[in-house]
Amino acid sequence: MLLLHRKQDQSVICHKHGEEDKPLVVRVCEVFPTHVTIGFEGDGYKIIRKEIFQTEKSTMKGDSHAENKYKNYYGHDHRKK
């Protein structure tokens, strides 16, 4: 794991090797005593909070509840078929 220190309004740019033209910019937008607000900017990326991703992985193993969960959470199913 790479650990970086960033201040408010500072960013980190991520991209796959050889795909510098498709960056994902991660910016620290606001800093509060107990949390931060992080912004993500980039096309073609799906950003999911870890706790939702872990639930997604466990429920997508043949559980029909997963589809309803996404419809309820997002208003419609964002997963690619």
Q: Is the pLDDT of residue 76 over 60?
A: no
Radius of gyration (C-alpha) of the chain in whole angstroms? 16
pLDDT of 54: 84
pLDDT of 26: 97
**What are the distances in angstroms from CA 6 to CA 22, 33, 49, 52, 60?**
22, 15, 20, 25, 35
Write out pLDDT tens, residues 23-62.
999 999 999 999 999 999 999 999 999 888 888 777 776 5
Helix, strand, or coil here: 81? coil
Rounded CA gap, 10 and 67, in Å?
37
Mean pLDDT of 61-81: 52
- Range of lowest pLDDT (3-7, 25-29, 45-49, 73-77): 73-77
